[in-house]
């Protein structure tokens, strides 16, 4: 039987046509970004596709997605991890607002590990709002396969790019697993005592370490297998490292849709009103019972 394409899946949901269009447009940039991995590398024997001096891939992906979204007329506001200010496109015909991390985990590009594009979509034209108001969220993961995970608030669906550059469904209605895996960021010498206590506890309980340095890749693993990813607040960075708008909210929304949880250790991240574009948060994300275990220690 023919595989279900992203378009066929979206057509089976209650999503408005312009939302389906927006998701497919962003998905269609997956192959373009994937190709840029070759053309933008130092060893490439050509100039990049714009014929310009080769740009860092995260900057290139930002420029590329920015132009595509602006031209689409589907997006009123765009916030990007690579931009200091929120961008407005007043002549847009639809009222979507998009947050993007064009290439999360970009420090891993040079060592050929998985990185990804993270997207949050709101349908009321504003990016500065709590993550729970999201209308849809998605990420594209560039690993041995290029995969797409999406929610339109009707569960979590995963797709993989085939040899015809189409995304076809690999996983439907994904529910987060409960394997005892963990990954945690920041230097151990800088951890606050409560975070140290949490990690010591789960290690004693038999949790296995899995940490790559790419948030989107690590969360993808825990979403499928189960586990808990954390990037705590730490000495010198008492607000944490990861960004609310671009990293924590979209992946938090997806993990929550899959039955998992996302927390600062004290409260649900999706309820936080962003104070600035670059708002950062400590994060515990993954299997619900493991995130609650962290909360018990952090709050206690
Ligand atoms: P970046 O946007 O500067 O790449 O930072 C985000 C990344 C996440 O993808 C990852 O989880 C984390 O930073 C890794 O940080 P560290 O290098 O401190 O382990
Ligand atoms: Mg990032």
pLDDT tens-digit readout, 129-162: 999 999 999 999 999 999 999 999 999 999 999 9
Which secondary-structure segment (H or E) carries 20?
helix 17-27
195 and 127 within one domain: no
**Domain end call among 114, 143, 171:** 171
Pocket test for ligand 1, best of 241, 283, 285 (most atoms within 8 A of CB): 241
Residue 262 C-beta-side C-alpha neighbours within 13 Å = 27
CATH number at residue 265: 3.40.190.80
pLDDT mean over 269-297:
98
Residue 258 inside a domain? The answer is: yes
61 and 110 within one domain: yes
CATH number at residue 15: 3.30.540.10
Label the pairing between strands 261-263 and 242-243: unpaired
* Sequential DSSP letters for 190-216: GB-HHHHHHHHHHHHTTPEE---S-HH
So what's the pLDDT on residue 54?
55
Does residue 68 surpass a pLDDT of 60? yes
Distance 82 CA to ligand 2 centre (A): 9
43 and 118 within one domain: yes
289 and 205 within one domain: yes
125 and 36 within one domain: yes
73 and 212 within one domain: no
Domain span at residue 137 reads 6-171
Rounded CA-CA distance 177/292 in Å is 15
Confidence label for 56 from pLDDT (cuts 50, 70 and 90): confident
pLDDT mean over 16-35:
97
46 C-beta neighbours (distance < 10 Å), count: 9
So what's the pLDDT on residue 41?
66
**Domain end call among 171, 193, 213:** 171
Residue 82 inside a domain? The answer is: yes
Rounded CA-CA distance 235/254 in Å is 29
> What does the angle CA 216 – CA 237 – CA 290 come to, to the nearest 5 degrees?
50
Confidence label for 51 from pLDDT (cuts 50, 70 and 90): very low
Q: Is 83 helix (H, G, I), strand (E, B) or coil?
A: coil
pLDDT above 90 covers a percentage of the chain that reads: 89
User: Tokens standing for 16?
Assistant: 């408005």
So what's the pLDDT on residue 52?
47
13 and 132 within one domain: yes
201 and 135 within one domain: no
CA distances for 289 relative to 74, 174, 268, angstroms: 38, 17, 14
So what's the pLDDT on residue 43?
52
Does residue 53 surpass a pLDDT of 60? no
Please state the domain count of the chain. 2
268 and 236 within one domain: yes
26 C-beta neighbours (distance < 10 Å), count: 25
**Domain end call among 145, 171, 197:** 171
Confidence label for 40 from pLDDT (cuts 50, 70 and 90): confident
- Dmax (CA) for the chain in angstroms is 57
Q: Which atom of ligand 1 is nearest to the CA of 231?
A: 11
Residue 30 inside a domain? The answer is: yes
Show the ligand 1 pocket: residues with CB < 6 angstroms. 104-107, 185, 213-215, 231
Does residue 49 surpass a pLDDT of 80? no
pLDDT mean over 191-209:
98
User: Tokens standing for 197?
Assistant: 């206590």
Rounded CA-CA distance 80/170 in Å is 29
Rounded CA-CA distance 218/264 in Å is 17
Residue 176 inside a domain? The answer is: no
Q: Is 4 helix (H, G, I), strand (E, B) or coil?
A: coil
Residue ID of nearest Cα to ligand 1 atom 5:
105
228 and 112 within one domain: no
Q: Dump pLDDT digits (tens) for 170-188.
A: 999 999 999 999 999 999 9
pLDDT mean over 106-117:
92
135 and 72 within one domain: yes
Quote the distance between the C-alpha of residue 286 and its chain's center. Answer: 13
Q: Is 244 helix (H, G, I), strand (E, B) or coil?
A: helix
Q: Dump pLDDT digits (tens) for 212-234.
A: 999 999 999 999 999 999 999 99
pLDDT mean over 76-101:
97
94 and 203 within one domain: no
Strand segments (E) across 56-114: 75-80, 87-88, 96-104
Confidence label for 255 from pLDDT (cuts 50, 70 and 90): very high
Rounded CA-CA distance 151/158 in Å is 9
Quote the distance between the C-alpha of residue 232 and its chain's center. Answer: 18
Distance 131 CA to ligand 1 centre (A): 20
Angle subtended by helix axes 249-257 and 215-225, to nearest 10: 10
User: Tokens standing for 128?
Assistant: 């500065």
Q: Does the reported pTM lie above 0.85?
A: yes
Residue 244 inside a domain? The answer is: yes
Q: Dump pLDDT digits (tens) for 233-249.
A: 999 998 999 999 999 99
Residues whose CB is less than 8 angstroms from the CB of residue 126 and which lie 6 or more positions away in sequence, other chains included: 77, 97
Residue 1 inside a domain? The answer is: no
So what's the pLDDT on residue 55?
62
Does residue 294 surpass a pLDDT of 90? yes
């Amino acid at each position: 039987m023919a595989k279900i394409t992203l378009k066929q899946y979206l057509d089976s949901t209650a999503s408005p046509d312009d939302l389906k269009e927006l998701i497919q447009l962003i998905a269609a940039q997956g192959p373009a970004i994937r190709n840029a991995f070759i053309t933008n590398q130092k060893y490439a024997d050509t100039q990049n596709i714009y014929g310009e001096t080769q740009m860092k891939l995260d900057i290139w992906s930002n420029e590329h997605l920015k132009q595509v979204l602006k031209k689409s007329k589907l997006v009123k506001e765009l916030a990007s991890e690579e931009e200091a200010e929120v961008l407005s496109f007043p002549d847009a015909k639809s009222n979507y607002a998009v947050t993007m991390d064009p290439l999360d985990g970009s420090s891993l590009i040079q060592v050929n590990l998985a990185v990804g594009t993270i997207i949050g979509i709101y349908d009321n034209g504003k990016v500065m709002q709590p993550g729970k108001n999201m209308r849809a969220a998605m990420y594209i993961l560039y690993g041995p396969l290029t995969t797409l995970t999406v929610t339109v608030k009707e569960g979590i669906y995963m797709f993989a790019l085939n040899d015809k550059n189409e995304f076809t469904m690999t996983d439907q209605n994904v529910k987060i697993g409960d394997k005892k895996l963990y990954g945690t960021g920041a230097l151990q010498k800088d951890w606050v005592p409560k975070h140290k206590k949490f990690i010591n506890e789960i290690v004693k309980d038999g949790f296995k370490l899995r940490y790559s340095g790419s948030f989107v890749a690590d969360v993808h693993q825990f979403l499928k297998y189960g586990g808990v990813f954390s990037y705590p607040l730490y000495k010198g960075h008492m607000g944490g490292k990861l960004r609310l708008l671009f990293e924590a909210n979209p992946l938090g929304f997806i993990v929550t849709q899959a039955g998992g949880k996302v927390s600062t250790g004290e409260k649900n991240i999706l309820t936080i009103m962003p104070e600035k574009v670059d708002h950062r948060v400590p994060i515990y994300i993954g299997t619900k019972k493991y995130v609650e275990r962290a909360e018990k220690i952090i709050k206690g």
